[in-house]
Amino acid sequence: MNPSLLQTPIDYLKGIGPNRADILRKEIGVHTYGDLLNFFPNRYLDKTRFYKINQLQRNSAEVQVVGKIVNIRTVEQKRGKRLVADFIDDTGKMELVWFRGHKWIRENLKVNTPYVIFGKTNWYNGIFSMPHPEMELVEEYKKNLRTAMQPVYPSTEKLAKSGITNRVFSKCMQQLFIESGGKFYDPLPADLREELHLLPRAEAIFNAHFPKNQELLAKAQFRLKFEELFYIQLQLLMKNLLRKKKIKGFPFDEVGKNFSEFYEKHLPFELTNAQKRVIKEIRQDLGSGAQMNRLLQGDVGSGKTIVALMSVLLALDNGFQACLMAPTEILATQHYNGICELVENLGISVRLLTGSTKTAERKEIHEALRNGELHLLIGTHALLEDKVQFKNLGLAIIDEQHRFGVAQRARLWKKNHLPPHVLVMTATPIPRTLAMSLYGDLDVSVIDELPPGRKDIKTVHRYDTNRLKVFAFLKDEIKKGRQVYIVYPLIQESEKMDYKDLMDGYESIAREFPMPNYQISIVHGQMKPADKDYEMDRFVRGETQIMVATTVIEVGVNVPNASVMIIESAERFGLSQLHQLRGRVGRGAEQSYCILMTGHKLSADSKTRLETMVSTGDGFEIAEVDLKLRGPGDLMGTQQSGVLNLKIADIVKDNDILKTARYHALQLLKEDPNLELEKNKVVRFTYSQLVKKKNIWNYIS
């Protein structure tokens, strides 16, 4: 088929016209014939069989019956009238009923002419009736291109109001198939189709819109989902392969004095098996001669920092500098203090650069970086400034990477003639399925065990009515010398209300925990950064026992002495946020607690979230539940990443198809990394179109 036909603007399709075209563009993003073809039904009505009137059951199923109207009458009722038609077949009689539109319907109904009717039946006064049935004359029914199973297309209020009904969609699809002759280019190679018994693309597309039966529909959907996910995976894997081939990295061949001495003499604790495995993966990358691009996932407190530090030591042993970039000043400072303590006996030069670094100190740092005296620079976005020039940057570590844009990361690369190795760390566990699709071009390492001696955080759910008991518990903990977080939600849209909640909460806590016996810190978004840091600092130093805050504390604050986290209105937080907040406690040797406070009115989803938090501390398990509840679009803010603009597949529900697609994409590239073989010609063509258009579906048909 001529691919350019699919690029035809939708305005030109018979039955659409400029007004409807405008609505289709705005409402559902359908601009071309190809877009319409890839606008799939979200459910189907099964019209595979006809019922006789004497076979009808008293249930709410939708059924179709063939018969004819023998009589039409208007019946008075309490409010207004209803139009009733007697409908018969050779086994009995039923009634068709209309409560509105009488005049038009009456004019159009034909008596003693065979009709196919479809709808829900009611049993009333000893007879079946069907209100507002869908009706079609049998001779029309036979003429139309149709399937026994009827597709139902997603709709919006505007579409419905503009008269773009399900029937209109069906008619337009028929028209599209007529104009294209139902012939479509197939982007999957023949041997792959044979191996997986996939329908040809033309047949799959046809059966997704006009399925002949349940079985063909299932095969069609499998084929189209596989294709969509196969090309996403192929793209990500190609990106990874290309990077490894094209982008040479500095080979770190040496495991030298810094690494060995630290490992043998200064490790504060025995590494877990997971940490050892991850360090080994990183060492292999660094010695391979290609640039490392690795994502390190590990739950809160799993010991990512030590892994990062040991990677830094490898860079130093090979004569390179390293940098570690964190999203906030507090977090950068914390990394700095932690790492300085670990390397104090190694004679390594480490400096901190943030927005509040004084000018004189900045100059020193710039100078020491350029002449190579400075080995490791830790900081915030300040590291990206043009003035920051390294002598030879060999490794860049980025913490909580989803807070940095791609463009910002690219600025780090430009500081060198060769790009440095990159290690991206995140404490937001990403389910494997999503990681495969979002970060399929990164190699992923996971630290999936906590260091020994870490106690599980006891998590409970309490209602507002138990508040006094909760306060009594806090007093006991504070008596033992512990500190407490109390966190309030902050949702942008209701900022004023949230601020009021926070202040009301603060006042009631201040009444319950009066000075001078208790000291309370408060931190919220409307404070100046310097005031925030001052309050945080008092809490870190133990001068205040209670920290009342909005969610600004979620990432990375480390106060080992804080043992209780209270989350107010916990039902208003997402799962990953709750999990992140809980991770702020449990950093010392004492038993820690997380208390989720809510009112009594809770939605089903909120209940699931709270139950999940109480039952497990495993970030990956929590991420899986989160993914099921929220769908992939919300998680990680992938809307803007453009990778997951899926038309038919669903990353969560089609997890198995995703794995199959990734496996086959990988096999194909192992055998034919440059897509040069004759049998992969269609893949090469499709891939080249894809890279040009940045969107799979523009060309796939």
Residues 6+ apart with CB under 8 A from 246: none
Q: pLDDT confidence of 642, banded at 50, 70, 90?
A: very low
Q: Rounded mean pLDDT of 662-680?
A: 93
Contact 369, 391 (CB under 8 A): yes
Q: Rounded mean pLDDT of 9-20?
A: 90
Contact 509, 597 (CB under 8 A): no
Q: Rounded mean pLDDT of 272-298?
A: 91
Nearest to 617 by CA among 454, 487, 490: 454
Q: Which long-range contacts (CB under 8 A, 24 or more apart) does 610-618 make?
A: 610/461, 610/570, 610/571, 611/461, 612/575, 613/459, 613/461, 613/570, 613/575, 613/578, 613/579, 613/582, 614/459, 614/460, 614/461, 617/456, 617/457, 617/459, 617/582, 618/299
Instruction: Count CA atoms within 13 Å of residue 402 on its CB side.
Output: 18
- Whether the per-residue pLDDT at 434 is higher than 60: the answer is yes
Q: What count of other Cβ atoms lies within 10 Å of the Cβ of residue 617? A: 21
Burial of 264 (0-12, 13-18, 19+ CB in 10 A): exposed
Report pLDDT for 214. Answer: 73
- Whether the per-residue pLDDT at 68 is higher than 50: the answer is yes
pLDDT tens digits, one per residue of 200-244: 999 999 999 998 877 888 899 999 999 999 998 898 888 877 777
DSSP 309: H
Q: pLDDT confidence of 74, banded at 50, 70, 90?
A: very high
For the chain, give me the number of helices (H) and strands (E)? 25, 23
Contact 269, 405 (CB under 8 A): no
Residues 6+ apart with CB under 8 A from 191: 679
CA angle 424, 428, 431 (to 5 degrees): 100
Report pLDDT for 528. Answer: 82
pLDDT tens digits, one per residue of 599-631: 999 888 899 999 999 998 888 788 878 877 776
Contact 402, 428 (CB under 8 A): yes
Report pLDDT for 60. Answer: 63
Backbone angles phi, psi at 114, to 5 degrees: -65, 130
Q: Rounded mean pLDDT of 527-549?
A: 87
pTM: 0.63
Separation of alpha carbons 248 and 81, rounded Å? 81
Separation of alpha carbons 593 and 563, rounded Å? 6
Report pLDDT for 381. Answer: 86
pLDDT tens digits, one per residue of 392-433: 999 999 987 555 555 666 676 677 777 889 898 887 777 766
Give the CA radius of gyration of the chain. Answer: 32
Q: pLDDT confidence of 148, banded at 50, 70, 90?
A: low
Report pLDDT for 128. Answer: 93
Q: What is the mean pLDDT of the chain?
A: 85
Contact 427, 304 (CB under 8 A): yes
Residue percentage of the chain with pLDDT more than 70: 89
- Is beta strand 520-523 parallel, antiparallel or unpaired with respect to 134-137? unpaired
- Whether the per-residue pLDDT at 555 is higher than 60: the answer is no
Contact 31, 20 (CB under 8 A): no
Report pLDDT for 46. Answer: 72
Q: pLDDT confidence of 641, banded at 50, 70, 90?
A: very low
**Type and span of the H or E element at 488:** strand 483-488
Q: pLDDT confidence of 585, banded at 50, 70, 90?
A: confident
